[in-house]
Amino acid sequence: MKEVVFERSFDPRRCRHLLDGRTSVLHCHHYSTLYTQLADDCTMLDARGLLARVAAETFFGILSSLLRKHALETPAERLAAAERYYAFAGLGKLKILSAGPETGEAELERSHVDEGWIRKWGRRDSPVNFITQGFLAAAFAAAFDRNPLDYVVREISSIVSGADRSWFQVARG
Amino acid sequence: MAIDRKRIIDALSKVTVAGDENGLIPAFGVLVNQLPADFWNGFAQRLTHLVDPDLREAAELLLVNAAHECGYHTGYGIITSEEWKAVVAPMVEKAPEDVLHGAVAVLAAWGWANAEIVELVPGERMVVRAYDYYEADPVAYGRASRPQAFMLRGVCAAFMDLAYGGPYDPTGATGLRTFTCAQTKGIECGDPYGEFVITRAKA
């Protein structure tokens, strides 16, 4: 498996962190869970779907650059790079269990969003990890040269609801 | 004022941040993430531009409020952290004013903005200028009709809450939202810098 290294730098003139040349910012679980809560509560539009779509499109761009830069050819290499990026970004420990161009499954052993939500507000019955739903769509699309918005990702069980790990089902819609 | 902004930015921007064996970044008393600015901007911009125009201000306020609450808790985590004690605390001669200057320097080190305090009336008012900030990036052409640095608005108000809003309250029931912030200039609006005026919230 090819090793994927993330290049970080700080531009002191602009006060910007760059990760592989893109502006990257540090935020905390308060910010990510408050954005998630905002999306969850928003009655103005489908903001949950919007948050997942923005995640899918953004991370697809990141992962596509990554696989070009490191010449990652196989789905296994590409999916491993996605898992590694997810962890590097502090989003948690993601494991893609099975994957093909049409369907797949993934589990989350540790989760920034779920654990941040529990720290802040405690458990709840329904899933909140819209960011990871989008990330998985991006990972599958990058792995199989598809459009990230083609994938439907459902969170079947969730750490935020008391499960040991979150479990996601992925299908091309 | 003994706060050496450049030294703080230099030291704290180099703090190594990467997910641990669990893919988590516990630091400053919170779980940190490092995500592309495009992600945060993409959600904020599309949310505020997709809602009915009558609801745009309400959507903007939701984003400001999220940042305000985040800035309050994370700001407290920062000014009580080991990193702060090692780098910034030795420079603090006059609290809470020096703490505020230090906190704005940390804000720059986190990559939120190249910003500084240009006016501070203790307990009453602060003006922050940001010469570069990621929330201005979505406007690649022309000028936005409204300022769009929702995160900076919320965080600047939160820093004043921490300085002058009473003891830190982990529940946020008191102390939080004792100040409010108006963005009076924006790079995204064609101004040379963003300007944020923080004043006491009206009861």
Provide, as residue numbers in chain B, all residues whose Cβ is less than 8 Å from the Cβ of A23. 36-38, 111, 134, 137
Note the pLDDT tens digit of each residue in A61-80.
999 999 999 999 999 999 99
- Determine whether the interchain pair B74/A16 forms a contact, defined as Cβ–Cβ distance below 8 Å: no
Does A164 touch chain B if contact means CB atoms closer than 8 Å?
no
Note the pLDDT tens digit of each residue in A112-122.
999 999 999 99
- Determine whether the interchain pair B33/A109 forms a contact, defined as Cβ–Cβ distance below 8 Å: no
Does A71 touch chain B if contact means CB atoms closer than 8 Å?
no
Angle between helices B37-50 and B150-164 (to 10 degrees): 100
**From CA A72, how far away is CA B68, in angstroms rounded?**
41
Residue A4: pLDDT band with limits 50, 70, 90: confident
Whether residue A84 lies inside any domain: the answer is: yes
Question: Which two structure tokens, joined as six digits, stand for B87?
Answer: 């780098």
Residue A86 has what pLDDT? 97
Give the ipTM of the model, two decimals please. Answer: 0.96
Say which residues have a Cβ less than 8 Å from residue B105's Cβ, sequence separation at least 6.
B3, B5, B8, B9, B12, B88, B116
Identify the residue whose tokens are 């006060």: A15
Interface of A with B in 28-57 (CB under 8 A): 28-32, 34-35, 37-39, 42, 44-45, 47, 50-51, 54-55, 57
Whether residue A86 lies inside any domain: the answer is: yes
Q: Could you tell me which of A80, A83, A81, A99 has the C-alpha nearest to residue A91?
A: A83
Whether residue A3 lies inside any domain: the answer is: no
Interface of A with B in 124-153 (CB under 8 A): none
Region A44-62: mean pLDDT is 96
Whether residue A22 lies inside any domain: the answer is: no
Q: Which of A18-22, A144-148, B21-25, B36-40 shows the lowest per-residue confidence on average (mean pLDDT)?
A: A18-22
CA distance, residue B103 to nearest chain A CA (Å): 14
**B174: which DSSP letter?**
S
Q: Which of A105-119, A129-143, A153-167, B79-93 shows the lowest per-residue confidence on average (mean pLDDT)?
A: B79-93
Residue of B31, B61, B72, B133 to mutate for A, most A C-beta atoms under 10 A? B31
The domain total for chain A is: 1
Tell me the residue range of the domain where A121 lies: 28-172
Collapse the DSSP code of B34 into the 3-class scheme (helix H, G, I; strand E, B; otherwise coil) and give the result.
strand
Residue B183 has what pLDDT? 98
Nearest residue, CB atoms, B19 vs list A31, A34, A90: A90
Does A91 touch chain B if contact means CB atoms closer than 8 Å?
yes
**From CA A154, how far away is CA A170, in angstroms rounded?**
7
Residue A3: pLDDT band with limits 50, 70, 90: confident
A22-28 vs A16-19, strand pairing mode: antiparallel
Residue A145 has what pLDDT? 97
Residue A107 reports pLDDT greater than 70 = yes
Residue B1 has what pLDDT? 54
Nearest residue, CB atoms, B111 vs list A24, A32, A92: A24
Domain CATH code at residue B91: 3.30.1380.20
**From CA B133, how far away is CA B139, in angstroms rounded?**
12
Residue A44 has what pLDDT? 85
Run means of pLDDT, 10 residues per run, chain B, 203 residues: 88 81 90 95 96 94 94 93 92 94 92 96 98 97 97 97 95 94 98 98 85
The domain total for chain B is: 1
Domain CATH code at residue A66: 3.30.1380.20
Note the pLDDT tens digit of each residue in A27-50.
999 999 999 999 999 888 999 999
Give this prediction's pTM: 0.95
Provide, as residue numbers in chain A, all residues whose Cβ is less than 8 Å from the Cβ of B134. 16, 23, 25
Residue A2 reports pLDDT greater than 90 = no
Whether residue A6 lies inside any domain: the answer is: no
- Determine whether the interchain pair A92/B24 forms a contact, defined as Cβ–Cβ distance below 8 Å: yes
Residue A171 reports pLDDT greater than 80 = yes
Q: How many CB pairs under 8 A join A and B?
A: 179
Tell me the residue range of the domain where B58 lies: 5-200
